[in-house]
Amino acid sequence: MKSSKKECYFAGAYTRLSQDDGDKAESDSIRNQKELIRNFQKSHSEIHIVEEYSDDGYSGVNFERPGFQKMITDIHEKKIDCIIVKDLSRFGRNYIETGKYIEQIFPALGVRFIAINDNYDSAEKRQPGDQIILPFKNLVNDAYSRDLSVKIRSNLNAKRQIGDYVGAFAPYGYKKAEDNKNQLTIDWPAAKVVRRIFQLRIEGKSNAVIADILNQEGIPCPYDYKRHSPDSRNFASGFHGNGEASWSFNAINRILTNEIYLGTMVQGKSTRPNYKIKKTVVIDQEKWIRVKNTHEAIISQRDFDIVQKLAGIDTRISTGEVYLFSGLVLCEKCGDTLIRRTVVRNHTRYTYYGCYDRKRTIKCKGVVIREDDLEQAVLTSIQKHIQTLLDIDKLLKHVDEMPLLKRETDALTELVASAKNELLRYQNLNESLYRDYLEGIVDQDEYLDLRNIYSTNEERLHKSIQELDRKKQQVLNKTSSYQRCIELFREFGNIQKLDRKTLVMLISHISVVSKKKIKICFTYQDEFDDMCYLIQKMKGEHEIWQG
Ligand SMILES: [Zn+2]
């Protein structure tokens, strides 16, 4: 890799902004971008900004932008030999094309390329991994990965743990295996109750209503059940129940939020700071030790996710029964949940969702929609969305299972391997250095110096291996989340009528703009957007996926 800098560069400052790409107007404004570039130039006296190119209102998905094209012309006419952008996404969001410019075209033309916030400068010395990290950054930069980091962190954490159950008693729905007290197996009578509780919740029953139902049917609550189970020999002494003689809101809630039913071992939820302090401290959810697939699941991941989502929806309904759209319809203007109202006019009942306050006066004018209109619009949108996803699925299959992502993982695997080799080399060097020192071939100062250098390198490599593994996991997670998205909607391929469960499963929320306009955010909307974006790039066609 070249690391030689010239004494003087004639630079073009390139800026771009597009609402379509979801750019944040404030931080990404053209003015802010220009300012950032000028500030950068101040500390680089060898760079002279001779031209500024702007594309205001042009998407980064393609390069059909007047400012960009002018810049390329100027490069060919040797007016500039350096390009400065705020970050890669300003330059382009099409990562193959962007990579081609940065990795092939610019080096061939002798153009220095600088992406300030990505810390990328083609004139600087490069680390071995840079070529891949650059396009990778392009890939993740914008369209991807918001919730990934949390998942990955817990995944990695979990790998270090074995996942044996160490609790004194098996959680409700499970029992300890005959042959291994650290292993859980399903306790069917209780597991069926667990499943029923999840089902009732998905159908729209509140925790309190579910508790009532179970109590009326005389189903023993976990505390009673445990007391009569064969597992409970030490029960009286060891188990400090909550004194709940019957099903309660909290008992239901504990079951509905417990990941143990997914087959995931979750331990370490609380700890004692040290042995002197009796008080237990609740640990952040993220730090809980989770190990997946340690035992058989009772609840599917999907049902579990829906229930967690329902818990987040403010249904504002205390009677226990929910309406079709309860908690799912928001005001586009203020973001509040819309209120359902029924009025009788000329002996006919009309039901509306509108933005009202508690006194039933209008909060946001014009934000009101008839329930039957809403239902029809949502049904039609879902049908269209499913059709689009099925088309996407065909296309993805057609193009051989995401070659882009495959290329990324292959490249990352290779990088990990070479980093591991290098690490091994330093470890060997360190060992033979110690031998040389013992045999008097190097003196103490030399030994300490060299050992320091080798160890620093070892540390650096350890870190970069970890980082590369993390990135690879990100890419892998992405592919499987696309599949999850497609599979979910495929199941509803023939949907003709809406019900509560379908809505909760397929829709994140609905924003009402006016009586004629709604916006729908679907489940896995990010994945959907990503796939559309990927396909745009692969096909080079933009029309198909609009609308
Ligand atoms: Zn409002």
pLDDT tens-digit series, residues 9-41: 999 999 998 776 666 665 678 888 898 899 899
Mean pLDDT of 376-390: 92
CA of 505 to the centre of ligand 1 (A): 25
Give the model confidence (pLDDT) of 318-337 as tens digits.
455 578 888 889 999 998 88
Q: What is the pLDDT of residue 161?
A: 45
Q: What is the pLDDT of residue 55?
A: 92
Q: What is the pLDDT of residue 89?
A: 79
* DSSP SS3 for 276: coil
Q: What is the pLDDT of residue 547?
A: 37
CA of 516 to the centre of ligand 1 (A): 16
DSSP characters for 423-435? HHHHHHHHHHHHH
Q: For residue 401, what are the contacts with CB-CB under 8 A and spacing of at least 6?
A: none
Structural contact between residues 38 and 49, judged by C-beta atoms closer than 8 angstroms: yes
Whole-angstrom CA distances from 490 to 483, 486, 487 are 10, 6, 5
Q: What is the pLDDT of residue 371?
A: 93
CA of 529 to the centre of ligand 1 (A): 27
Residue 545 predicted with pLDDT over 90: no
Q: What is the pLDDT of residue 298?
A: 92
- The DSSP H or E segment spanning 188 is helix 188-202
Block residue for tokens 């039913």: 261
Q: Using CA atoms in the order 125, 128, 134, 136, what is the torsion angle rounded to 10 degrees?
A: -170
Query: Rounded to 5 degrees, what angle do the CA atoms 504, 505, 508 make?
Result: 65
Strand 329-331 to strand 270-271: parallel, antiparallel, or no bridges (unpaired)? unpaired
CA of 363 to the centre of ligand 1 (A): 6
Mean pLDDT of 107-124: 83
Q: For residue 331, what are the contacts with CB-CB under 8 A and spacing of at least 6?
A: 337, 338, 355, 363, 364, 367, 511, 512
> Which of the residue ranges 88-92, 367-371, 479-483, 534-538 has the most confident prediction, judged by mean pLDDT?
367-371
Structural contact between residues 396 and 531, judged by C-beta atoms closer than 8 angstroms: yes
Q: What is the pLDDT of residue 245?
A: 66
Whole-angstrom CA distances from 187 to 149, 261, 262, 290 are 35, 12, 14, 21
CATH architecture entry for 9-141: 3-Layer(aba) Sandwich (3.40)
Q: What is the pLDDT of residue 544?
A: 42
Q: What is the pLDDT of residue 273?
A: 40
**Which has more confidence, 94 or 372?**
372
Rounded CA gap, 260 and 304, in Å?
Answer: 11
CA of 358 to the centre of ligand 1 (A): 12
CA of 333 to the centre of ligand 1 (A): 5
Residue 348 predicted with pLDDT over 60: yes
> Which of the residue ranges 86-100, 184-198, 497-511 has the most confident prediction, judged by mean pLDDT?
184-198
Bridge partners of 51, per DSSP, are: 12
**Which has more confidence, 314 or 186?**
186
Q: What is the pLDDT of residue 249?
A: 86
Give the model confidence (pLDDT) of 229-285 as tens digits.
655 444 443 333 444 468 988 889 999 999 889 988 776 554 444 333 344 455 566
Mean pLDDT value across the chain: 77
DSSP characters for 2-44? --PPPS-EEEEEEEEE-GGGT--HHHH-HHHHHHHHHHHHHT-
**Which has more confidence, 43 or 147?**
43
CA of 443 to the centre of ligand 1 (A): 77
DSSP characters for 59-89? -SSSS--HHHHHHHHHHHTTS-SEEEESSHH
Block residue for tokens 């013992």: 438
Percent of the chain clearing pLDDT 70 (strictly above): 76
Q: What is the pLDDT of residue 4?
A: 59
Q: What is the pLDDT of residue 160?
A: 35
Of the candidates 24, 30, 20, 114, the one whose C-alpha atom is nearest the C-alpha of residue 62 is 20
Mean pLDDT of 82-106: 80
Question: CA 404: distance to chain centroid?
Answer: 19
Cβ atoms within 10 A of the Cβ of 400, count?
Answer: 8
CA of 338 to the centre of ligand 1 (A): 8
Q: Using CA atoms in the order 212, 217, 218, 220, what is the torsion angle rounded to 10 degrees?
A: -70
Q: What is the pLDDT of residue 480?
A: 74
Structural contact between residues 303 and 198, judged by C-beta atoms closer than 8 angstroms: yes
- The DSSP H or E segment spanning 265 is strand 265-267
Give the model confidence (pLDDT) of 179-237 as tens digits.
776 778 899 999 999 999 998 888 778 888 899 999 999 898 888 887 776 554 444 43
Among 145-159, 293-307, 359-373, 434-448, the range scoring the smallest mean pLDDT is 145-159
Q: What is the pLDDT of residue 255?
A: 93
Mean pLDDT of 144-153: 34
CA of 501 to the centre of ligand 1 (A): 26
Mean pLDDT of 460-470: 87
CATH architecture entry for 174-312: Alpha-Beta Complex (3.90)
Q: What is the pLDDT of residue 425?
A: 85
* DSSP SS3 for 185: strand
CA of 542 to the centre of ligand 1 (A): 34
How many helices and strands in the chain, by DSSP H and E?
19, 17
DSSP characters for 108-143? HHT-EEEEGGGTEETTS---TTHHHHHHHHHHHHTT
Q: What is the pLDDT of residue 155?
A: 38
> Which of the residue ranges 45-54, 262-271, 293-302, 465-474 has the most confident prediction, judged by mean pLDDT?
45-54
Q: Which letter does DSSP use for residue 262 in this model?
A: G
- Name the band, by pLDDT with cuts 50, 70 and 90, for residue 138: very low
> Which of the residue ranges 80-94, 125-139, 220-234, 310-324 has the most confident prediction, judged by mean pLDDT?
80-94
Rounded CA gap, 207 and 248, in Å?
Answer: 8
Percent composition of the chain: helix, strand, coil (DSSP 3-state, to 5): 50, 15, 35
Residue 358 predicted with pLDDT over 50: yes
Structural contact between residues 327 and 334, judged by C-beta atoms closer than 8 angstroms: no
Residues of the chain within CATH 3.90.1750.20 domain(s) are: 174-312
CA of 378 to the centre of ligand 1 (A): 20
Give the model confidence (pLDDT) of 403-417 as tens digits.
666 777 787 888 888
Structural contact between residues 353 and 329, judged by C-beta atoms closer than 8 angstroms: yes
Residues of the chain within CATH 3.40.50.1390 domain(s) are: 9-141
CA of 269 to the centre of ligand 1 (A): 39
Amino acid identity of residue 206, one-letter, is S
CA of 364 to the centre of ligand 1 (A): 4
CA of 335 to the centre of ligand 1 (A): 6
Q: What is the pLDDT of residue 445?
A: 83
